[in-house]
Amino acid sequence: MRMKLSVKHTVDRWFNKIAKNPALSVTVSALWLMVVGWVAFGWNLGNIGLIDETEPLFAEASRQMFVTGDWITPFFNGDTRFDKPALIYWCQAIAYHLIGVNEWAVRLPSAIAAFGLVCLAFYTMQWYLAKQDELEQVSRPTRRYLISFIAAALMALNPETIIWARTGVSDMLLTGCMASALLCFFLGYAGGAGGERITNAPFPNKWYLAFYVLIAGAILTKGPVGIVLPGLIVAAFLLYVGKVREVLREMHLLVGMLIIIALSVPWYALVIWRNGWNYINSFFGYHNLERFTEVVNGHSAPWYFYFLVVLLGFAPYSIYLPASIVRLKFWQRSHWRSLERFQQFGLFAWFWFASIFAFFSIAVTKLPSYVLPLMPAAAILVALLWSDLFPDTETQQTTSVSPPFLWSGWVNVVFLSFLATALLNITHILGTDPAISNFHELIEQSGLPVIAGIIWLVSAVLVAALLLSRRWNYIISINLIGFVAFVIFVLTPASFFIDRERQLPLRELSAVILEAKQPNEELIMLGFKKPSVVFYSHIHVNYLKFPKEAVEHIKKQAAKGLKPSSVLLLAEQKKFLQMDLQPDDYKNLSTKGAYNLVRVPFKKMKNQKIDIS
């Protein structure tokens, strides 16, 4: 006990020293954020090839912008790509200009968006806790810094955030813009530093201005959802606390809408002017309205889908979300309306979380990435739960905890044990991968399931020991340390393993294509679509699904007498065998993994009679 008090006293004294020295506090905070950001977003970011299928679509469309100088209409493989607006392509094209066309440049916008969001959340949590101490006339630097550090770590170090922050698609850029906009709104609403509420000023305060600019960024990243979701969250929150008219006057909503329109509408006007109804029907119709009202691309899921996504995507901290929500007692409206604005931070995070969860649960098309923007709110809610477990004064520590927290602690133990068991038996859970014939055997040989199981089993034992010894505030640290160990010793080696077995063969074949392809020679990809080949080879690819379709296409090309008198054919081995070509009908150029690259001369196909059922 005496040693425990001594350690606590040392920690408190250290944080007091930080709080009294602004330069030191900034340095320590910056170092912590850089360490967390590097582990979560920067480490090995570009050392793994692009992952089929979605990531290379963005990467190649951005490369086309970079090469052609057309910054209005995105193209992929010779066709327009209207799936997403232009901001992600612009960011990736700028990164190409700065560091070259490579994997680092493709993923850098996502990583920067995630890191910027984490830094702003850290600042917001620091500001909120400092305001709370000021109101209660106490000094709790230990609590303030530790909870801010925890919030930043929870926000960065969870599966959903790490995956999308390391992937060169638009989801993390949308989350960065949207979540940062919501944090800026709250800072403006609560009178954050330099953002005092002045209703008679001609312009909104700086936080509201940042909110409008970031909303414009979200619209340029993913369309109407970039303003619909933040608008829904802010409106629901203001209605609940009864401050709609008051806050809208403070925000200078008309000025804000003009800012949003001025920043986001010009590109939409230009792309519609150039492409007309093709763009309107594709983007606004198919990729927005139909995704909400109908199942698109087979992405359907049951009503409970996002419960599972949040459980696993925010693991292992997700099991504390119910206790974090119960802690708020958000149903006590009169209580929340009586508080100072800054004290409503937890309530705002709840509306943020619940609105996004409900919106996409209603939507018919469902994908795990859709609820990525609620992960920052989940991190804030759990961090606020832990704030109750740190000292109320410099000499007194809270030791009593609520029953929901205790139940969550033991659920934490069960969940980690279940996770360990599942990972130890992962080969019986995972399906097969057609690109890796001996997928399960290779996973077992890697030893990664055993390492993963041990990490989470040890974490479960340590959490149980802390619960029994009533050392509540160390439990979240065990979860964080366990996850960091999992990232370093399991996820990172697993990503290299999957890249080597699944994506490397395609990159190697792309290099062969670059060397072997004759001028104007067509490249056919049979039986599968791997956009990474387009990105790495810089060559137009003709996708054909069936062997019979490929044979007929080659015969038609042969009949035209085109030059050169051959085509390159990239096919999965099983599809290639179904073409039933004779050895002298083609020249094998390379075989990598599950794929064959061959050259098929037209003269061998003109009189070929092939019966393919």
> Domain spanning 517-604: which CATH class is it, in words?
alpha beta
DSSP state of 606: T
Element of type H or E holding 361: helix 345-362
Please compute, for residue 568, the number of CA atoms within 13 A of its CA located in the half-sphere on the CB side. Answer: 26
Give the angle 11-13-15 at the CA atoms, nearest 5°.
70
Report the percent of the chain where pLDDT is more than 90: 60
Alpha helical stretches, state H, 488-572: 492-498, 504-516, 532-537, 547-559
- Which of helix, strand or coil describes residue 568? strand
Is residue 604 pLDDT above 80, yes or no?
A: no
Closest CA to 156 of 146, 166, 144: 166
pLDDT at 612: 42
Domain residue extents for the chain: 2-398, 399-499, 517-604
pLDDT at 20: 62
Count of residues making up the chain: 613
**Structure tokens, 463:** 């959490």
Indicate the pTM of the whole model: 0.91
- Which of helix, strand or coil describes residue 388? coil
Mean pLDDT of 488-512: 92
Please compute, for residue 545, the number of CA atoms within 13 A of its CA located in the half-sphere on the CB side. Answer: 0
Closest CA to 510 of 539, 478, 533: 533
Is residue 21 pLDDT above 80, yes or no?
A: no
Distance CA 130, CA 261 (A): 36
Q: Dump the DSSP string for 297-318.
A: TT----TTHHHHHHHHHTTTGG
Average pLDDT score, the chain: 87
User: Is the preceding omega at residue 53 within 30 degrees of 0, hence cis?
Assistant: yes
DSSP state of 438: T
DSSP state of 433: B
Residues 6+ apart with CB under 8 A from 590: 508, 509, 512, 596, 597
pLDDT digit string (tens) for 415-436? 999 999 999 988 877 767 666 7
pLDDT at 611: 45
Among 51-60, 114-123, 288-297, the least confident range: 288-297
Closest CA to 357 of 346, 370, 344: 370
Give the angle 555-559-561 at the CA atoms, nearest 5°.
125
Residue 137 vs residue 372, higher pLDDT: 372
Is residue 562 pLDDT above 80, yes or no?
A: no
Q: Which pairing describes strands 541-544 and 522-526: parallel, antiparallel, or unpaired?
A: parallel
pLDDT at 583: 77
pLDDT at 613: 41
Element of type H or E holding 328: helix 321-328
Confidence of residue 3 (pLDDT cuts 50, 70, 90): very low
One-letter amino acid of 195: G
pLDDT digit string (tens) for 180-227? 999 999 999 998 555 555 556 667 789 999 999 999 999 999 999 999
Element of type H or E holding 230: helix 225-241
pLDDT at 56: 95
Closest CA to 606 of 568, 567, 563, 556: 556
Confidence of residue 36 (pLDDT cuts 50, 70, 90): very high
pLDDT digit string (tens) for 274-289? 998 888 887 776 666 6
Closest CA to 219 of 87, 406, 76: 87
Residue the block writes with tokens 């190697």 = 508
Closest CA to 522 of 571, 562, 577: 562
pLDDT at 495: 93
Closest CA to 481 of 317, 308, 313, 252: 317
Give percent helix, percent strand, percent coil of the chain, each to the nearest 5.
Answer: 70, 5, 25
Distance CA 466, CA 365 (A): 42
pLDDT at 183: 97
pLDDT digit string (tens) for 141-164? 778 888 999 999 999 999 999 999
Among 10-14, 63-67, 386-390, the least confident range: 10-14
The secondary structure of 256-284, three-state, reads: HHHHHHHHHHHHHHHHHHHHCHHHHHHHH
Mean pLDDT of 112-126: 96
